[in-house]
Amino acid sequence: MVAVVDKSLVLETEEVFATVELHGKYTRGMMVVDWRNTLGKQPNVTLVHALDTIKARPYFEKMLL
């Protein structure tokens, strides 16, 4: 959530296609990510891989008060 509140904290992202599996054999209700773009669909999700945790620390501390 902190990435939404302060976008400057985001250091690394990746655009991918993802969907929620509703009728799968092995999963149900899970987000499935097309990591290798095998489906060839346009990205619809931005995944955050890295945050500046030092700058984000005040946000987390405020949550605990």
Q: What is the pTM of this model?
A: 0.76
Q: How far is CA 49 from CA 11, 23, 29, in A?
A: 8, 28, 22
In sequence order, the 6+-apart residues with CB closer than 8 A to the CB of 47 are 13, 14, 15, 16, 33
* Nearest-angstrom CA–CA distance, 16 and 41: 9
pLDDT of amino acid 45: 97
Rounded mean pLDDT, 7-12: 97
Give the tens place of pLDDT for each residue, 24-65: 888 899 999 999 999 999 999 999 999 999 999 999 999 898
In this prediction, residue 22 has a pLDDT band, given cuts at 50, 70 and 90, of very high
What pLDDT is recorded for position 25? 85
Contact indicator for 44, 18 with CB cutoff of 8 Å: yes
Sheet holding 30-34, edge to edge: 30-34, 10-21, 45-51
